Each structure stands twice: as C-alpha cells, then as structure tokens.
C-alpha cells in the first residue's frame, strides 16, 4: 500500500471522534499489508502460487466480512480504497474468495497438483469435490495445464473462439510504446482474450510477445525451484537446531549422570530410543517432510512452524535473484476491456515506436 494514500489519510482524518475510526482503519490496513506480501509470493509458480492465492482469498473474505460490520458513514469509501490499493475488482475478489472456500482447493492434499493460475483455480472451483478429486487423481488436472485443458475438463468449448468464417480479415494491429512494453502487454492480455472470445474475434499474439511469455514461464519455473530449495535448506537448519535442543534437554533430564560425558548428538538420541528417521532431516526432499519431523517433537506446534516458514520464504525472495522477465508486472489489473480502456488517462504526445503484441 502506497504511503500517503487517501485511504491512510482517511483513517487518520478524525482522531477527535475517539479511537473507533482509527482502530477500524488499522484492521483493514493490516489485511492489505498481508495481502501485498502474498502477492509477491504469487510471482512464483506451482504450489507457492496456489498457497498464496488461497491465503489471499481467506484474508479477502475476512476483510469483507469485517467491513460489513462497520457502522460508519464513509464505509463504502473505505472499502473502495481498500480494493484500489490491492488492484482488485469485486469480480476478482469474488474469485479469490470462492477458490479459498472450495473444500478440495483449500486443502493441502492436492495443493502440489493444482495449476498456478487464478483463472484456472476459479474454474475448477465450479466442480463438486468428488469430481475435482477424480480429475486430479487421473492427472487431467496438474500444475502444467492451461486454460484450454481446464475448459476441456469442465466440458466447455476451447478458449479459441468459434469463428463465423475461416476466412478472416485483419482490422487492427495494436502497438504500444517500446519502453516497458511487457508490462503493458501483461496489463491487457487477459482482457483482450476475453473480449475477442465474447465477440467471436480472432486474436494472434505476435512472435515477440509469445517468446516473452515462454521465457517468463520458463524463468518462473526455475525461480520457483530456487525459492523452494532455499526454503528447504532453511527448514532443515531450523529442524536440526530444534532437534539438538530437544535431545540435549531430554538427555539431561533422563541421564543426569551422563551429561559430563562427551556423547555426540546421534549417540544421545539413540540412547533416548529415537530412530534416525524421527530426528534427522538431512535426507528430506521437501519442506512437508521436514515439517512432519519437527511437529513430532511436540514443541511449539504448527502455528510456530508456519510463522517460521513465512520468514524463510521472505528471506528466499530477498536472497534469490529474480529473473528479469518476472520483473515486469501488469500496470493495472484487467477487469474487462471496457474498464481497461476507461481507466487509462488520455495519453500525452509520446514516441510510439511500436512493438506488436
């Protein structure tokens, strides 16, 4: 959320009326802050995107329910500012919430098998639980599927519009300023596709834009792997530290006379009748395995683990270099072509050395 936004000013505009306005404002601001952090996690692929999307949906639902309880004359303004600060329209927020409420999508069992796309997740949320489980188990739904595959599963027609005639005439060529053209392309891509589909128009992405999308997808996959590896290493280090602390404490309590002897970590947990697979996490290949070992210690529980996981992920986002292709973000959130066009200010005189998209 940008500093000095009208939302922040509105919250702070009337302190003389007591703490009620300020407190309610702070609640929504806290939701916005959490969602902004999760939006950063959505830049990665696969399970990290899905996890962030589900959490955003949960927070949006909580924020919406909270806002509905407010008894303020400026409640509508608060909510509009909140939405604008996130870049979400009401339909987009509804999609997030519906995804987060689906019994299968919100569970952890299939999280690694879902496509990293809000559109795809929303479409899948229209399926009942047994049907969705069946499609996931059969492999029809997996992290690599796109819109056309999801549409096929839902029994819909392909994303490619059914054209009235196979003979088409080119009537528009869209160009944008060459500087930061990638961001502008991402801003209108979905809206253009939906518009063309609705009006049975053909749409062909240029070679330049297609190559950019392929590079972006490949970079996102590699970036996601690096992020997850960084998090896994942090999880293993944390788990090992907790294991050593637990074993030393229990060993001291159970064998006080042996404390002075120079026994190694492994010798101590063997003496305590722990198996290697109950303590050691060095061979774990994902954080869920490490988590299972940590939780078996019976220490601070899952809430503390999740808190640590968030810190590891944040650290990974800082330490792992972000690919250049992922630095380009959509300038605006596409809510439909009409809104995209209407929301743009009238352009000043600029150099339109164009790049076809």
- Residue that wins the pLDDT comparison between 16 and 140: 140
Residue 269 near residue 248, CB atoms below 8 Å = no
From first CA to last CA, the distance across the chain in angstroms is 30
The residue segments making up the domain with residue 354 are 164-357
What is the arithmetic mean of pLDDT over 214-223?
83
Report the percentage of the chain scoring pLDDT > 70: 78
C-alpha to C-alpha distance for 50 and 309, rounded to whole angstroms: 15
Is 287 inside any structural domain?
yes
- What pLDDT digit, counting tens, does each position of 320-354 carry? 888 888 776 544 333 333 333 333 333 333 333 44
The per-residue pLDDT of the chain, averaged, comes to 76
Is 236 inside any structural domain?
yes
> Beta-carbon neighbour count of residue 100 at 10 Å?
20
What is the arithmetic mean of pLDDT over 126-151?
84
Residue closest to 105 by CA, chosen among 49, 65, 187: 49
> Beta-carbon neighbour count of residue 25 at 10 Å?
21
Is 94 inside any structural domain?
no
Is 349 inside any structural domain?
yes
What is the predicted pLDDT for the residue at 347? Answer: 37
Q: How many domains does the chain have?
A: 1
Is 88 inside any structural domain?
no
Band (91; pLDDT cuts 50, 70, 90): confident
What is the predicted pLDDT for the residue at 234? Answer: 94
C-alpha to C-alpha distance for 134 and 141, rounded to whole angstroms: 9
pTM of the model: 0.51
- What pLDDT digit, counting tens, does each position of 244-299 carry? 999 989 888 888 888 767 788 889 889 888 888 889 998 898 888 898 899 988 88
What is the predicted pLDDT for the residue at 240? Answer: 93
Is 282 inside any structural domain?
yes
- What pLDDT digit, counting tens, does each position of 62-80 carry? 888 888 887 777 778 878 8
* Neighbour-count burial of 339, counting CB atoms closer than 10 A to its CB (0-12 exposed, 13-18 middle, 19+ buried): middle
Is 292 inside any structural domain?
yes
Band (241; pLDDT cuts 50, 70, 90): very high
Band (10; pLDDT cuts 50, 70, 90): very low
- What pLDDT digit, counting tens, does each position of 19-69 carry? 444 456 567 777 777 787 776 666 555 567 888 889 899 999 988 888 888
What is the predicted pLDDT for the residue at 8? Answer: 41
DSSP string for 56-88: HHHHHHHHHHHHHH---TTHHHHHHHHHHHHT-
Is 22 inside any structural domain?
no
Residue 153 near residue 140, CB atoms below 8 Å = yes
- What pLDDT digit, counting tens, does each position of 156-165 carry? 544 444 544 5
**237 has pLDDT over 90:** yes
């Amino acid at each position: 959320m940008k500093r000095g936004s009208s939302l922040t000013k509105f919250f702070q505009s009337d302190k003389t009326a007591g703490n009620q306005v300020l407190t309610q404002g702070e609640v929504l601001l806290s939701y916005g802050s959490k969602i902004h952090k999760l939006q950063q996690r959505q830049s990665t692929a696969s399970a990290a995107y899905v996890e962030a999307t589900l959490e955003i949906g949960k927070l949006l639902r909580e924020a919406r329910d909270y806002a509905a309880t407010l008894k303020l004359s400026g409640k509508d303004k608060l909510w509009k500012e909140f939405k604008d600060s996130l870049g979400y329209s009401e339909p987009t927020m509804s999609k997030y919430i519906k995804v987060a409420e689906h019994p299968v999508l919100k569970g952890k069992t299939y999280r690694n098998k879902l496509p990293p796309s809000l559109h795809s997740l929303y479409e899948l949320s229209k399926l009942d639980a047994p049907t969705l489980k069946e499609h996931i188990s059969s492999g029809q739904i997996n992290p690599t599927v796109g819109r056309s595959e999801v549409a096929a599963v839902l029994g819909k027609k392909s994303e490619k519009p059914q054209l009235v005639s196979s003979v088409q005439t080119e009537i528009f060529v869209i160009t944008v300023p060459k500087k930061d053209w990638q961001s502008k392309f991402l801003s209108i891509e979905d809206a253009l596709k939906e518009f063309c589909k609705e009006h049975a128009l053909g749409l062909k992405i240029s070679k330049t834009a297609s190559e950019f999308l392929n590079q972006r997808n490949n970079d996102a996959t590699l970036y996601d792997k690096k992020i997850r590896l960084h998090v896994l290493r942090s999880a293993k280090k944390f788990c090992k530290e907790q294991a050593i602390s637990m074993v030393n404490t229990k060993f001291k309590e159970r064998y006080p006379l042996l404390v002075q002897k120079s026994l190694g970590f492994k010798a101590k947990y063997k003496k305590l009748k722990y198996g290697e697979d109950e303590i050691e996490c060095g061979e774990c290949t994902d954080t869920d395995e490490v988590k299972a070992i940590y939780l078996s210690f019976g220490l601070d529980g899952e809430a503390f683990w999740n808190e640590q996981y968030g810190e590891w992920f944040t650290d990974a986002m800082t330490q792992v270099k972000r690919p250049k292709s992922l630095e380009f973000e959509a300038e605006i959130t596409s809510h439909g072509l009409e809104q995209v066009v209407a929301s743009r200010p009238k352009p000043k005189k600029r150099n339109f050395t164009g790049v076809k998209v």
